Structure 1
Amino acid sequence: MTPLILSILDRLQGLFRSLGADYPQMRAIVQVKLMMDNRRNYTTLGRYGQQKKNNDAPDNTFLKVLGFYAFFGVILALQLMFLERENLFLPLIFQFSYVMILCAMTLISDFSSIILDSSDNQIILPRPVSSRTLWLARITHISVYLFAISLATGLGSILILGYRFSPVAGLSFLVLSVLSAMLMVFLTNLLYLGLMQLISEEKLREIINYVQILMAIAFYGGYQLIPRLMTQASLGETMERQWWHYLVPPMWMAGAVESVLLWTFDTEHLLFIALAILMPIGGIWFMSRFMTGSFTEKLSGLDQESKPTPATAAVVQPTTLPDQLAGWFTSSSLERASFAFAWRIMGRDRKFKLKTYPQLGFGLVYIVFMSLRGGTFDNSGFATLFSLYFAGLYGMVAQYQLSASDSFKASWLYGAAPIRQPGEILSGSLKAIIVKLVTPFYLLVAAFLIWRNGTDQVSDIVLGYISTLVMLLVSALFSDRRMPFSVPVDSVNRSNTGRSFITLIVLSLIGGLHYGLTLVPYGVWGGIVLSLITVWLLMRQYQRTSWHQIVMA
């Protein structure tokens, strides 16, 4: 695949030279990045923890990702088979929204570390390589994958439009899909560059981390919202133009394709075409000409540690919130120390937050949209139970990530310290997960369900929360037991399949029992008492974990 990409770049070298790049240098950098990608894993299919057994064998992970996207793209494009060309504006908006959302999500989940990676500056910029050349190499490297994703997601629409109407229509969708990917690159980099201009370097990565989390949740929410706005009845209707349509990028692309389908080039369609072409290309040109210098300069300071404050006389620090909560929820000094340690690391580790917080947001967004979709299902008792246990699955994501860290080699401290009962460290960190993440997440879900359905199902909500704690403990007891932040990320992700299988079994059993208890008078309240006892017994068992049960890196 790399030789094909490089040959395409060779045919476009005039474009890169016009943007100010030293093309031979840029080509060499892109070639090295593509070669290194064989060692990198993709989060898109949840298989980012798998490593190849043979480093010389070709890596087909990305091809599987493209196949996955192409499959769903074809399914979504089937609606184009049954509508006349005059009524395709709304379905085309949906298609381009799908392309843009996937490109944006890929930038956030897989390539944000590449966009903000300052190691290239330290290695390459001391050589006679300009910052513009390096920036264009970085953007080209990312764009290669985004173009492939956009083509895969739009494959079904390209074929259907080309077959039903004309090859020109299919070709226009192809070109505009590529432009959609370029637009997402421009908007994402513009966001990062804007933050770099407005925020001090010391806080930049932290704020960018939260922006990435909010963007991921917003894009996922938009992906859930768009299909619900496009009901089957509205797909066949002609949509009247509004002024705000010219502010929404998917509508630019849809309007441009519609212009080709109808062979209409009035003022409205020409404006759509101009926006669809000029915004992506003009944005990339503007950034390459005027913003790469400041981008590189700001990026070089991202990895610099904050300057230590001058030494002062020892001052007794007030008791912090983690210490207070540790005193309330733990029973030994070792467990309290583990609780406070895990609490603070979860608040500081950017990768932990980036992998955990969006998942919690996804769960909340899905529950809200599922409940608001209408009908009798959203007000039924079964729907409430489904929402509660579905939320429990998302709440367990934090537990999966608790033992993973890029700094896992520091875990030698666990063996060097005089720790006789490692189970107390495990239970303390798990309690921190429950108090810091699972409980607030469940409170948000409970507040929404009470607002939606009233207070009649408070007992079900309480039992669902306690049952989630049972699931957390069962999953922790029956999977590999690792010390907090003690193993590489790959080791954790390889065991996720087994954990997920165990979790689904326990979820089905507990959910079925809960539904059965709703049919018995006061059965739910009795289930709450039994569940609390179960949680206490399971936590005691988890606290008794010995060293021979611990899996270390």
Structure 2
Amino acid sequence: MQDYRTLKLLDCFERIFSGFGVDYKIMRRLLQVKLTMDGRRVPTIFSQNAKKENKEKNNQYIKSLWIYVLFGLFLIPFVLMGDNYLFQMSLFYGIFTFFVMTSMISDFSSVLLDIRDRNILFPKPVDRKTISTAKMVHVTIYLSFLTIALAGIPLIVGLIKNGLLFFLIAAVNIILIDLLVVGLTALIYLSILRFFDGEKLKDIINYVQIGLSLMIMVGYQLLIRSFELIDLTVSLQPKWWQVFIFPMWFGANIEMMMKGTFQPFYLIFSALGLIVPILSIWIYLKFTSTFEQNLQKLAYHGKSKEKKRSKVGQFLLNIICRSPEERAVFRFAGSMMRNERDFKLKAYPSLGFSIVIPFIIIMNTLREDFVQLSDSKSYLTIYFSLIIIPTIMILLKYSGKYKGAFIYRVAPLKQLKLVFSGTIKAFIFKLYLPVYLLLSALFLFLFGAKILPDLVAVFISACLYAVICFMVLKKALPFSESFDEYNQNGNSAIIFGLMLIVALFAGLHFASTLLPYGIYLYLGVSIICLGIFWKLAFNISWEQIVE
């Protein structure tokens, strides 16, 4: 195995690890194996550029760091924009935390929740503390690479512009944020592991990952709204809830040290920025043994309870799907979307964003002028909920159990049309419709019942848009491909092009509101187009399927 340079650097701290009771030689060997195995794992952000023949020869994560360097360049303006350090560095740390946290969720949760060490090493004469430390150092190595790639260039720019003191404080803050992210992520998982087990636990972890993604987006908006722009000067109005926006903790200590403003507000925030990260990582290390013990619950596969079908649900299903074959596909696709964890982890955050984004657009547009909200056409921002449809339409091809796709060949299906139409209907009614109904209820509360025809028209447009996406995208049987192939076919450009169609729908809808009863004309035309496209879209033969 290759002797990595990171391990040679780690050798300088051998005495420190030994002083904590860790068998350094065994830990080093474990890390060497882990780093070698990482060469076969493709990070989420870089999966589209990974080729199978190179996976075992190169560490794809290291190769992907140039993307994070590119993201880091967008942080430079926050360092250069002025001397309001609380404002600019709070934004800097907020964006930095977003990238680190999402990377922890997508790439490092599998490391924190890995139980293979227990199965392979626990029967061997290897100390438990050594195994846990190897896992923690493994995460720390890659988190260090990510941190340097993201913040390295902006910090050098900050050193040149603001001096050595700024550089040192900013660097220490970034280390504290890394500790906070790792500690909080581990403690959240530890709390879940403490009370749940088996299949329920895996589902909860999945929803926690999704929830963290949404909290980051909402938190970023709260951070922006903590500051006000008055006569081109940014000012802060202290509020009690700002204590929970932790990027401001680290912006406050830079403001305090660089300008010497030792006000109670800055002192409290600076103290939180120092104490909470250290406390979180200390608590995690304190309960590491408990964490490792509870990880064994992940090996338990509980029996899923079969849900009873209600008469109302069966009646609605008979209306949605006319043939028995299509109803069977509808139930199958709905079950896959509900139970496939990889699918949920990739698709559900997008559904959550589709709820948040319309309101973010409204808030950014109107700011405090909510009096005129009900008389405006801001309800058309609900079209932003459509932009997630192409991504999920692509995801419908993939599954962690893709080898079971042979069932399509042996099932007594008269035609493939029913397979595709049943799957699309399952997506629309099982995933998109609940989100859209929630959005519609909120919009009806904000804008009144007068927009009800508009909401119906948007839903018809969403169904039409899903059919158009299906017609444009490459054809493949639902859930028949591995997630390892996800995004390797250059779908980004196609998705961007399809999103432009959403703008076309929104433009036509807006134009219809300028005419008397125009919305009803738009609604009628949309229904006719949906009927025509639906009949044409699913006439797919076996020869057209990508296998």
1:330 maps onto 2:294 in alignment: no
- Check whether the contact 1:95–1:154 (CA below 8 A) recurs between aligned residues: no
Residue of structure 2 equivalent to 1:535: 530
1:183 maps onto 2:180 in alignment: yes
Moved more, 508-517 or 131-140: 508-517
Residue of structure 2 equivalent to 1:512: 507
- Relative distance call for 1:61 and 1:531 in structure 2 (3 A) is farther
- Check whether the contact 1:157–1:170 (CA below 8 A) recurs between aligned residues: no
Residue of structure 1 equivalent to 2:544: 549
What is the correspondence of 1:189-338 to structure 2 with a 5 Å cutoff?
A: 189-233=186-230, 249-262=246-259, 275-288=272-285, 290-306=286-302, 319=310, 323-338=314-329
Residue of structure 1 equivalent to 2:351: 360
> Within 1, Cα distance between the matches of 2:453 and 2:271?
57
> Within 2, Cα distance between the matches of 1:132 and 1:154?
32
> Within 2, Cα distance between the matches of 1:287 and 1:182?
10
Residue of structure 2 equivalent to 1:90: 87
> Within 2, Cα distance between the matches of 1:294 and 1:249?
27
> Within 2, Cα distance between the matches of 1:361 and 1:235?
34
> Within 1, Cα distance between the matches of 2:134 and 2:232?
41
Moved more, 143-152 or 428-437: 143-152
- Relative distance call for 1:331 and 1:72 in structure 2 (3 A) is same
Residue of structure 2 equivalent to 1:11: 12
1:348 maps onto 2:339 in alignment: yes
| Partner SS, residue 299 of structure 2 | coil
* Gaps in structure 1 of 5+ consecutive residues: 310-314
Correspondence for 1:171 among 162, 168, 171: 168
Moved more, 9-18 or 104-113: 9-18
What is the correspondence of 1:378-389 to structure 2 with a 5 Å cutoff?
A: 383-385=378-380, 387-389=381-383
Correspondence for 2:76 among 64, 74, 77: 74
* Shift in Å, 1:354: 1.4
| Partner SS, residue 305 of structure 1 | coil
* Shift in Å, 1:467: 1.3
> Within 2, Cα distance between the matches of 1:432 and 1:396?
15
- Check whether the contact 2:197–2:297 (CA below 8 A) recurs between aligned residues: no
> Within 1, Cα distance between the matches of 2:512 and 2:303?
59
- Relative distance call for 1:230 and 1:61 in structure 2 (3 A) is farther
| Partner SS, residue 39 of structure 1 | coil
Identity of aligned residues (%): 30
| Partner SS, residue 111 of structure 1 | helix
The one-letter code sitting in structure 1 at the alignment partner of 2:433 is: T
- Check whether the contact 2:115–2:296 (CA below 8 A) recurs between aligned residues: yes
| Partner SS, residue 124 of structure 2 | coil
> Within 1, Cα distance between the matches of 2:304 and 2:430?
29
Moved more, 206-215 or 501-510: 501-510
- Relative distance call for 1:436 and 1:316 in structure 2 (3 A) is closer
Residue of structure 2 equivalent to 1:312: none
> Within 2, Cα distance between the matches of 1:150 and 1:190?
21
| Partner SS, residue 232 of structure 1 | strand
1:485 maps onto 2:487 in alignment: no
* Shift in Å, 1:155: 4.1
Moved more, 12-21 or 471-480: 12-21
Question: CA-to-partner distance for each residue in 1:46-103, whole Å, 9 max, x for gaps?
Answer: x534422651466465223312321221133333xx22xxx42333333223322322
- Check whether the contact 1:463–1:527 (CA below 8 A) recurs between aligned residues: yes
- Relative distance call for 1:245 and 1:381 in structure 2 (3 A) is closer
* Shift in Å, 1:181: 0.6
Residue of structure 1 equivalent to 2:492: 497
Residue of structure 1 equivalent to 2:516: 521
| Partner SS, residue 352 of structure 2 | helix
- Give the number of equivalent residue pairs: 538
Question: CA-to-partner distance for each residue in 1:456-515, whole Å, 9 max, x for gaps?
Answer: 333332222211111110111222222221111243423422541441343344333333
- Relative distance call for 1:433 and 1:318 in structure 2 (3 A) is closer
- Check whether the contact 1:347–1:353 (CA below 8 A) recurs between aligned residues: yes
- Relative distance call for 1:190 and 1:41 in structure 2 (3 A) is same
- Relative distance call for 1:336 and 1:498 in structure 2 (3 A) is farther
| Partner SS, residue 75 of structure 2 | helix
- Relative distance call for 1:190 and 1:424 in structure 2 (3 A) is same
- Check whether the contact 2:444–2:452 (CA below 8 A) recurs between aligned residues: yes
* Shift in Å, 1:201: 3.7
Moved more, 341-350 or 16-25: 16-25
> Within 1, Cα distance between the matches of 2:201 and 2:333?
23
> Within 1, Cα distance between the matches of 2:308 and 2:189?
36
- Check whether the contact 1:73–1:155 (CA below 8 A) recurs between aligned residues: no
> Within 1, Cα distance between the matches of 2:384 and 2:442?
14
- Check whether the contact 2:476–2:546 (CA below 8 A) recurs between aligned residues: yes
> Within 1, Cα distance between the matches of 2:427 and 2:527?
18
| Partner SS, residue 27 of structure 1 | helix
Residue of structure 2 equivalent to 1:429: 423
The one-letter code sitting in structure 1 at the alignment partner of 2:330 is: F
* Shift in Å, 1:382: 5.9
> Within 2, Cα distance between the matches of 1:2 and 1:259?
44
The one-letter code sitting in structure 2 at the alignment partner of 1:299 is: L
- Check whether the contact 1:327–1:336 (CA below 8 A) recurs between aligned residues: yes
Residue of structure 1 equivalent to 2:51: 52
> Within 2, Cα distance between the matches of 1:316 and 1:322?
12
- Check whether the contact 2:227–2:236 (CA below 8 A) recurs between aligned residues: no
> Within 2, Cα distance between the matches of 1:35 and 1:322?
51
The one-letter code sitting in structure 1 at the alignment partner of 2:333 is: A
- Check whether the contact 2:214–2:349 (CA below 8 A) recurs between aligned residues: yes
* Shift in Å, 1:405: 0.6
> Within 2, Cα distance between the matches of 1:498 and 1:166?
42
The one-letter code sitting in structure 2 at the alignment partner of 1:348 is: N
Q: State TM-score, norm by structure 2.
A: 0.88
